[in-house]
Each structure stands twice: as structure tokens, then as C-alpha cells.
Amino acid sequence: MLASGSDLHAMHTELPPLVTLGNPRLAQPSMPVAVDQIVNDDFQSRLRTLRLGLEHHGANGIAAPQLGWFERYFLMRDPSNGGDLIYWINPQLKVLSADLVWYWEGCLSVPGIKAYVGRPSAVSVAGFDENGTAIKRCFDGWEAHLFQHEFDHLDGILFPYRVADPRHMVSATEFEQRGDWPEDWPLPGAKHAPVRIVND
């Protein structure tokens, strides 16, 4: 695995600041990566830095635009495979089910906000890994949700844009008090939904 970080890299790498909500660059679509550049030293260094960013922030996923690199790649955890990390470069997505699965979402680029978001429950995905090898997977449930959250970053879409009703967004402080919410707030089932924040 070419991008498998090292202690030496960590010692000499300063993480770029997170790009957050309100910065117009986050709303712009990112450019594809030239496949023959994936194994280049400069790009591999960025992949390692992306991994350091995910680990530093304790996130489940992180996309290049969040660190100011407006190219089409991200890194995500795969809980179905022991929490392994998967790089997705130039990813493509096909929705396999019109049924929605609902989870609470947060985002490093949208600090202090949580939202209850519905996304298609199953997707087929393809792209390239950190070695430039073509990969394909099918995800459902939470993994599908996480992939779509990170994929959206590459198209300039943040999770608040996916909220069906503004009442489905709450402050992080209020989210911690959800045990006091009415049973049907902000949607039936939301109060007791699994607490698996997509990215935080």
C-alpha cells in the first residue's frame, strides 16, 4: 500500500487547516485526478496527510476538499471490514435502492451542527485505490451513508443541503440532550436512532 504513512512522515507533516462552512471553495466541484499521477510522490504525500487528518480528528471519513485540495478523492473507514481505511480516487456512484436509510450526520467542515439525514440505502461504487488499482464495491446501510456523505464533498455539497426539513438540524449541544426530546422529535424514530455519526 503506497500511502501507508510513517512516524517520520507524521513528525514532519503539518496538517492544513480545515476548510469550513461559509468558505465558497467548499461549494465548487472538484477536478478528477490524473490516474497516472496517483503513484507520484507528491500525490502520495497528500494521501498520507489525508490519513493523518482523519486520525487526528477522529473522523470516519475525510475528503480532499476539506483540507483545501479540490480534487476528487477521499478516505473512509470500512466498519464491515474491521475498520480498515479505504482511499477512493475519482469515485463513481450508482444508487441501487430508492429506499432511504436515516442516520445522524456531523462534519468536520460544519462544526457544532448535527442533522438527521436520509440517503439511499444501497449503492454500487467504483474508483481507484492508493496504488492506482481499479476497485469496485457495493455498500448498504451505514457504509452507503458514509460513502455518499464523502462523495458529496467532491461535488461541493455539504450535509445541511441534504436536510429535508430545517427542524432536522440541531446544535451539537442540543444533540447531547436528545434524551429529553419528545418521542417524535425531530422525526419519529430520530430520538432513538443509532448514534453513528457519519463524520465528526
Give CA–CA dist 35/133, Å, rounded: 9
Residue that has been written with the C-alpha cell 472538484 in this structure: 30
| 150 is a catalytic site residue | yes
Give CA–CA dist 155/129, Å, rounded: 19
Give CA–CA dist 68/13, Å, rounded: 15
CA dihedral 17, 64, 1, 32 (to 10 degrees): -150
Which of 22, 27, 19, 86 has the alpha carbon at shortest distance from 51?
Answer: 86
Q: How many CA atoms lie within 13 A of 80 on its CB side?
A: 11
Residue that has been written with the C-alpha cell 422529535 in this structure: 185
Instruction: Exactly one of 14, 150, 174, 176 is catalytic; name it.
Output: 150
Give CA–CA dist 14/41, Å, rounded: 17
Cell of 19: 476548510
Could you check whether the bond before residue 186 is cis, i.e. omega within 30 degrees of 0? yes
Catalytic annotation, residues: 150
